[in-house]
């Protein structure tokens, strides 16, 4: 490839990446985030605590033995 072909390919890639599709994906992502529930459910808090406790116990057992 010569320099002119490389520059043309880079310009085409930049145009493609800066097009409407990127904006559509951004608006779709923001809609998804707006619909998310900000407060975790009670079972999620318990599950997170159990996973953390298991991780701590695993590290302590591996360290001591």
CA-CA distances (angstroms) from residue 22 to 1, 47, 52? Answer: 29, 36, 38
Q: Calculate the CA 19 to chain-centre distance.
A: 22
Tokens 């994906």 appear where? 25
The average pLDDT across 27-56 equals 79
Residue-wise pLDDT for 12-41, tens only, equals: 777 777 765 555 555 555 555 555 567 778
List the domain boundaries for the chain. 3-64
pTM for the full model? 0.44
pLDDT above 70 covers a percentage of the chain that reads 68
């Amino acid at each position: 490839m010569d320099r002119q072909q490389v520059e043309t390919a880079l310009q085409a890639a930049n145009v493609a990446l800066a097009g409407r599709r990127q904006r559509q994906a951004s608006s779709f992502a923001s809609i998804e985030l707006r619909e998310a529930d900000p407060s975790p459910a009670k079972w999620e808090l318990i599950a997170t605590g159990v996973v953390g406790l298991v991780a701590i116990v695993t590290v302590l057992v591996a360290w001591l033995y």
